Chains A and B, each alone.
Chain A
Amino acid sequence: MTNNIIALIGNPNSGKTSLFNTLTKQNQRTANWPGMTVEKKSGFMTIDNKKFEIIDLPGCYSLNNNLQIDEKITTDFLLTSPPNLIINVINTCQLHKHLYLTIQLLETEIPMIMALSFIDQVSDPNIKLSEISKHINCPIIQISTRTKQGITQLISEIKKSPKPHTKLNHKILNKFTQPVLEQLPISLQKNWIATNLLEQNLNESNIKGIPKETITQQRTNIANAFDEEPEIIIADVRYNLIQKIISNCKANNITHKNANYTYLTDKILLHPILGLPIFLLIMYLMFVTCLVFGSSIQEPFAATCELWLVKVPLNIINSTVTTPSWLQKLLVNGIGTAVITTISFIPPLFLLFSALSILEQSGYMARAAFITDKLMSFINLPGRAFVSLLIGFGCNVPAIMSTRTLQNQQDRTLTAMMTPFMSCTARLALYVVLVQAFFKENGGIIIFSIYCIGIVAALITGFMLKKLVLKNINQNQIIELPEYIKPSIKHTITDSSRRIKRFCERTFRIMLPTCIILTILNNIKITNHYSLLEIIAIKSTIIFNPMGIEQSSWPTTIALIMGTIAKEVMVGVFHTLGAYNENLDFITIKSAAIDSIKIWHNWLYGQEKIVDVSQNLKTLFHNKESVIAFLIFSCLYLPCLSTLSALKKECSKKWGYIASFWSLLLAYSTGTLYYQWATITQHPKKTIMITALIILSFVIFLTFIKKFNKADKYDN
């Protein structure tokens, strides 16, 4: 633990996390929408053998622990553990807005450095810094994390350990703050706390010995003196100072250099009628292009990796040490399968992550909340909830965490309950493998349809909960739209690589032991033909018969069970159990080199493949209808353990149970209904009976939910 604590504080999209990454040499994810940083993160930097702890706080517009969670985190941090230094990161293109927080930070009297970021993107970078200094007595540095301009200067200012600045004095307010200030039983940050208490910005329970009567009296005095609410008067005082600073430093007309371009682009992309269809088209093209092209590389990539990472190393081991056959099977079918399965997804995922990163950097994704607001109005949720759902396409856990940016608890709960239906990248891996094996021709459309089923399920969940349980109407929402900027290739590659690394780490961590355990269990035969794992799985698979999954497809049941731990495991389970390789062929380096060339030559010229990694999966399903039913079930059923624990943390245990039960019911019903109605000609009576049973289950569940609402009125 170090005594040199530096807090990075600023508005959302001011470049805090980019500066944090630059100073600490970390690689935290950055994006230009509010809610990217929802928790404080810390890292370290060393200057001349002196260690500094840098804390990246969530973006906030003001210091107020009664408003939003982001603001609460920052305000509580300053109240309970004030840092030694604040670096206030300000977007130079929006000085007027960002200086409001700066004024509040100056009121805290904590030493501060002002970092004017995005200096490479302003229309006129010649701001008179000396004029700002006249009003704000702290070091001011212009920086750009893209061009690294001003970073050295910033580090040398940190090294100097700036002294506390001169107290910011709002003369007009003094006679009202003074009586409060005199009665405050604290010694630090008195002025700031007194002003904020008058504004009702601080939760009074956090500070002991508050002179409540004096505060009420002074609030009345302000209202009488100015004929206006105290909050508005105090804000006026701050904005008058801001206006003076901006006029003096000639920053009145400073805009982003892409402001005109943004205006014209928004005319098309945010068109009231065309905006939503354009957004959906962009999303569709992104998924289909990345997946179709990525999947086409996936097969030769996986085959080459299998040659070099499994067969050749094992051949070398085998030629030097005699290994028993059970160990060889474990290495190939357990560890080998896990490794190959995981890395085979690198090409499609890298393309998808790159496309998402480009859209994020450009500023288009920040507009998603605005574009989709109309869609979300159907369930009375703000458009910002859509951003959380969108993050869910990457991973459901950060998506549920990002619901913190929503203003009330009911909206947060509702969005968190909808999020698990968004197909994360782990589920995408499963879709790609099955689609490759069964639907070569129209794989892109099938995957897109499964994604759409997830979205529809989320909307149904939202609609049901809004109608039956979370009935509160909330209209409060503010969305900020950043300027469009040219995406950087370097950032795209770094961002995509970071996400790929996380995907691989998580997958290896869970998939490796799972595949090894399953290989061992599958090889311990308790009868002549069957292992214990097979016997249990075959018996359990009866449950999935209405979905067209027969007992011989027992590895699907194991995959679904293991998928509740982490969805990444499912494909590994298929390959370990379904693609079980009885004949282990190890090859030499020379043969591997020749085969690799053949694989890529054949891929390039569209010739027959040497290895078809998905071939063995075809034995697991008897018809295409059962594959689609299984895909639907996998898309909708129980979220993974990490998602469930995030849901419990952000909402409550009760919501975790409801989410589990509801997702199982919805998944089983949808998968079964699809299969039954797709094959109705084969068993019409059975189909009608199963449909009736499913309708009955929904009626029982909805009755339970309604009763749950009456018995336990949701506390907002």
Chain B
Amino acid sequence: MIIIITSSEQAMSNIKAGKRFKIVGTYSPAILKKLIPLGISKNTVVEVSRVMGRLVQLQFNSCNICVHYEDLKQLKFEQIL
């Protein structure tokens, strides 16, 4: 597993179906606080299933959730190749 550490803005352009990311932190604790009970916390590895308009469908730990693109921008993540 190769991990590319990216800044949020750069990583956002890589948000495409099939890509995997590891959440490493947040620019906004409020956003992560909202995502924590849904299973997304620090070190969670998520896979992008599809992007549809403003929503990004993420798959992780047998969960399927859709998060708003703007919310996702508030997270720090690393892309996994």
Contacts and interface: CB of A to CB of B under 8 A. Distances in A.
Interface of A: 61-62, 64, 67, 93-94, 96-97, 100-101, 228-229, 231-232, 235-236, 239, 254-256, 259, 262, 266, 270, 272, 275, 369-371, 373-374, 377, 382-383, 475-483
Given A94-B63, A475-B71, A479-B66, A236 B55 contact: no
- What 10 A-B pairs have minimum CB-CB distances, sorted nearest first? A61-B37, A62-B37, A97-B39, A374-B53, A481-B64, A96-B61, A475-B70, A479-B66, A255-B62, A229-B29
B46 interface: no
Interface of B: 25-26, 29, 31-39, 41-42, 49-55, 57, 61-71
Contacts of A67: 33-34
A374 B66 contact: no
A370 B54 contact: no
A198 to B, nearest CB: 13
A518 B45 CA distance: 67
A231 B57 contact: no
A138 B23 CA distance: 32
Contact of A232 (B26, B68, B71): B26
A100 B35 CA distance: 12
A313 B35 CA distance: 63
Contact of A100 (B37, B52, B54, B68): B37
A41 to B, nearest CB: 23
Given A94-B63, A383-B66, 19 more contacts: A62-B36, A64-B37, A67-B33, A96-B62, A231-B29, A231-B33, A232-B33, A232-B36, A235-B33, A239-B41, A270-B50, A272-B51, A370-B52, A374-B54, A475-B69, A476-B68, A476-B71, A477-B68, A478-B65
Contacts of A275: 52
Given A94-B62, A476-B34, A383 B55 contact: yes
B36 A231 contact: yes
26 contacts: A62-B37, A94-B39, A96-B39, A96-B63, A100-B37, A100-B39, A232-B26, A232-B42, A235-B33, A235-B42, A236-B41, A266-B49, A266-B50, A373-B52, A373-B55, A382-B68, A475-B68, A475-B71, A476-B31, A478-B35, A478-B38, A480-B38, A480-B64, A480-B65, A481-B57, A482-B64
A64 B62 CA distance: 24
Given A231-B29, A232-B32, A232-B41, A373 B50 contact: no
Interface core residue of B33, B41, B71 (most chain A CB under 10 Å): B33
A61 B29 contact: no
Contact of A270 (B37, B41, B52, B67): B52
Contacts of B26: 232
Contacts of B55: 370, 373, 383, 477, 479
A11 to B, nearest CB: 8
A478 B38 CA distance: 9
Contacts of B50: 266, 270, 272
A185 to B, nearest CB: 27
A459 B33 CA distance: 32
Given A232-B32, A479-B66, A94 B61 contact: yes
Contacts of A256: 62
A351 to B, nearest CB: 31
A62 B38 CA distance: 9
